[in-house]
Amino acid sequence: MESKNTSSVIRLKQEYEKNIRPALQKELGLKNIMEVPRINKIVVNIGVKEAVTDSKELQKVKKKLAVIAKQAPIETECKKSIAGFKIREGMKIGACVTLRNKKMYEFLDELINIALPRVRDFQGVTKKLDGRGNYNLGVKEWIIFPEAEDNGMEKPHGMNITIHTSAHTDEHGFALLKQFGMPFKKK
């Protein structure tokens, strides 16, 4: 199993270095190869509203996120109290994982080629970036990832996936993600 994961990571990184980077340099009209945008990190975040009343739910989510991301997540804390939601400052209400290097490429490959096509009635992802070349993607249920499949005993949670790039503009970030094969909407 390890050799399969390593080969897919090497494949995606080699694809970037040999094909994507030179194509982007030409497409964007950049003079220096170091100006070409690249993906720096991917952050996967899950908020668990049930953690307010049941701390065991957060542990279940952390285990599932660790299986999906292949890395141990950290617990996120509430930054300020919200009385209407019965949340106090410092309360554990989510899980987060930051992926870099090999795990980042492995997760991106799985997201683009396996997980997103499994979404029901999938028409593509939105083309909107954050203004600084980074991309945020909201996933309604984690069951689109093959590792997260279970026998229906657990409640599926949504997640936020943020792809941080070195691009300074949305046009450069969009071109980078398009070259990686991100399935954007046609319109």
- What's the one-letter identity of residue 1? M
Q: Provide the pLDDT confidence category of residue 1 given band limits of 50, 70 and 90.
A: very low
pLDDT at res. 98? 92
pLDDT at res. 139? 82
What tens digit of pLDDT does each residue of 63-93 get?
Answer: 888 888 888 888 887 766 666 666 667 677 7
pLDDT at res. 84? 63
Checking if the pLDDT of 166 tops 50, the result is yes
Q: What's the rounded mean pLDDT across residues 101-119?
A: 83
pLDDT at res. 64? 82
Give the separation between CA 39 and CA 177, rounded to whole angstroms: 9
pLDDT at res. 41? 92
Give the separation between CA 68 and CA 79, rounded to whole angstroms: 26
pLDDT at res. 51? 63
What tens digit of pLDDT does each residue of 172-187 get?
Answer: 888 888 888 888 887 6
Give the separation between CA 32 and CA 25, rounded to whole angstroms: 8
Checking if the pLDDT of 50 tops 80, the result is no
Give the separation between CA 73 and CA 43, rounded to whole angstroms: 10
Checking if the pLDDT of 5 tops 60, the result is no
Checking if the pLDDT of 97 tops 60, the result is yes
**What is the enclosing helix (H) or strand (E) of 136?**
strand 135-139
Checking if the pLDDT of 62 tops 60, the result is yes
Does CATH place domain 37-180 in 3.30.70.1140?
A: no
Structure token pair of residue 177: 């993600």
> 78: phi > 0 → left, psi -120 to 50 → alpha, else beta; which?
beta
